[in-house]
Amino acid sequence: MGQTVNIDDFRAAMARLAAGVVLVTAHDPEDGPRGEDVGMTATAFMSVSLEPPLVLVSVRIGSRMDDLLERQERWAVSVLSESQRHIAGRFALRGRISDRLLFEDIAYYRGEESGAPVLGGALAILECETEQRVPAGDHTLIIGRVLTARTPSADGGPLTYFRGRYRYLG
Ligand SMILES: Cc1cc2nc3c(=O)[nH]c(=O)nc-3n(C[C@H](O)[C@H](O)[C@H](O)COP(=O)(O)O)c2cc1C
């Protein structure tokens, strides 16, 4: 039997992989007459394939986003800029009941393909449709086909995360 890694060693090693930070969003159509928007800060996001264009996000099983993406196949990703650190912070809080107030003072618009809120001022916006859900340990790998990809705000650096802290490039 293979040796099992110490979980703290594993965490520490992965914390040294510098990552860009994204906000995954989706619209929950079942939540009341107006519906509700949900967001989740994520670093486990990557490009998978060019033809067809696929991306992947790893979402913790039991998280609100995991539950929502079981019902809502369209979602969006906003690649955060360095000026959006406060947004990353608020959408990472555990145990939230509603995200309604969290979107209130944020400049966002609704993606045409996904109906999901997408952030003004993000470095890039992708709208996706789930192709595959792959259970992987305590996370679900959600593979999405990219429906639209835009780079509305070319200026400014990315928000990154390294060794447990948000960082800026340059
Ligand atoms: C920098 C950073 C990166 C994160 N990346 C992920 C991720 O890739 N996947 C994930 O499921 N959660 C990730 N999280 C945690 C979620 O943002 C957080 O658990 C979620 O928003 C809280 O909602 P919940 O109570 O439904 O889990 C990350 C948090 C931070 C601060």
Is the beta carbon of 63 within 6 A of some atom in ligand 1? yes
**What pLDDT is stored for residue 82 in this prediction?**
96
As a whole number of Å, the end-to-end CA separation of the chain is: 45
**What pLDDT is stored for residue 3 in this prediction?**
81
Most ligand 1 atoms within 8 A of CB, residue of 23, 58, 60 to mutate = 60
Is the beta carbon of 43 within 6 A of some atom in ligand 1? yes
Homologous superfamily, domain 7-160: Electron Transport, Fmn-binding Protein; Chain A (2.30.110.10)
Domain ranges of the chain: 7-160
Is the beta carbon of 92 within 6 A of some atom in ligand 1? yes
Model pTM? 0.96
Higher pLDDT, 168 or 32: 168
Among left, alpha and beta (phi > 0; psi -120 to 50; other), residue 129 is beta
Convert the pLDDT of each residue in 56-114 to its tens digit: 999 999 999 999 999 999 999 999 999 999 999 999 999 888 898 999 999 999 999 99
- The span from the CA of 101 to the CA of 54, in Å, is 31
- The span from the CA of 137 to the CA of 16, in Å, is 21
161, 43 Cβ separation under 8 angstroms? yes
Q: Which long-range contacts (CB under 8 A, 24 or more apart) does 126-134 make?
A: 126/55, 126/76, 126/77, 126/79, 126/150, 127/74, 127/75, 127/76, 128/55, 128/74, 128/75, 128/76, 128/77, 129/73, 129/74, 130/69, 130/73, 130/74, 130/75, 131/54, 133/69, 133/70
**What pLDDT is stored for residue 137 in this prediction?**
98
**What pLDDT is stored for residue 31 in this prediction?**
65
